[in-house]
């Protein structure tokens, strides 16, 4: 017990001295930084900061889905057509990316959603249901051309959107039943557009089994759904 007390009393002053020496050294160094005659002098605003560093600011984190909605909206796509497509592991092929054929289905899902929104505007829920059931006048796909910009892999989610392509006033439209649309798929993982689709749609009378002219009122509803292209 005596030895323990003797050791403790010998250690405490040594520790205090070390702390005091360290404090004095830091104070002396700081004083040298402030002294213009010292070789360690740092003029404010030159080698060192004139004042303490401002608090760091963290960048705002943008939600990928929110960003995707913004990108498609800015590009003129109709928000009523936006379709979230989660990529399944089975969507990939031996080439280690989503198989190209899958995109036809992805675009189809967005297009059907867009058609239903047109039906709601033209005649409410009953018309929207008829549009996707092949009843009365609806739309049918005439042609589709898909361009692949980036490979997509699992896991990922795509946001797909549609917009109509109104022909210029000088264009001669010999077929009032046909119009063009374009669609794009945006990857949340890559934060980039990965595929586009250019399509021709035809107004079709499923009761008479032939294409038809829907009329100017219907066309005006379509053209309001996107920017002119």
Note whether 5 and 92 are same-domain residues: no
Of 57, 75, 98, at which residue does a domain stop? 57
227: tokens are: 């920017």
CA–CA separation, 75 and 154 (whole Å) = 26
Residues in the chain: 229
- Domain holding 87, by residue range, is 65-223
Q: Are residues 30 and 69 in the same domain?
A: no
Residue by residue, pLDDT tens for the chain (229 residues) are: 444 444 444 444 555 455 455 556 677 767 776 777 877 667 776 655 556 666 566 667 889 999 999 999 999 999 999 999 999 999 999 999 999 999 999 999 999 999 999 999 999 999 999 999 999 999 999 999 999 999 999 999 999 999 999 887 766 667 999 999 999 999 999 999 999 999 999 999 999 999 999 999 999 999 999 864 4
Beta-carbon contacts of 216 under 8 Å, excluding residues fewer than 6 positions away, are: none
Same domain flag for 90 and 186: yes
Instruction: Collect all residues with Cβ–Cβ distance below 8 Å to 97 and sequence separation of at least 6.
Output: 151, 152, 153
Q: Which residues contact 32 (CB under 8 A, 6 or more apart)?
A: 38, 39, 40, 41
Which positions ≥6 away from 165 have C-beta within 8 Å? 179, 180, 181, 182, 198, 226, 228, 229
Co-location of 151 and 40 in the same domain: no
Residues 6 or more apart whose CB falls under 8 angstroms from that of 213 comprise: 176, 177, 203
Number of domains, the chain = 2
């Amino acid at each position: 017990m005596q030895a323990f007390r003797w050791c403790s009393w010998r250690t405490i002053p040594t520790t205090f001295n070390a702390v005091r020496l360290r404090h004095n050294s830091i104070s002396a160094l700081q004083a040298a930084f402030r002294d213009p005659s010292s070789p360690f002098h740092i003029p404010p605003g030159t080698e060192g900061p004139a004042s303490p560093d401002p608090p760091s600011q963290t960048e705002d984190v943008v939600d990928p889905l929110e960003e995707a909605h913004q990108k498609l909206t800015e590009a003129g796509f109709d928000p009523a057509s936006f379709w979230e497509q989660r990529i399944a592991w089975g969507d990939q092929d031996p080439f280690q990316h989503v198989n190209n054929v899958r995109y036809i289905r992805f675009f189809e899902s967005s297009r059907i959603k867009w058609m239903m929104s047109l039906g709601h505007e033209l005649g409410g829920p009953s018309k929207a249901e008829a549009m996707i059931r092949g009843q009365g006048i609806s739309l049918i796909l005439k042609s589709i051309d898909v361009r692949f910009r980036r490979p997509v892999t699992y896991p990922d989610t795509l946001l797909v959107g549609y917009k109509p392509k109104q022909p210029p006033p000088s264009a001669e439209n010999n077929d009032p039943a046909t119009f063009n649309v374009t669609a794009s798929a945006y990857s949340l993982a890559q934060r980039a557009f990965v595929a586009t689709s250019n399509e021709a749609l035809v107004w079709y009378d499923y009761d008479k089994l032939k294409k038809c002219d829907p009329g100017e009122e219907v066309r005006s509803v379509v053209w309001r759904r996107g920017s002119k292209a």
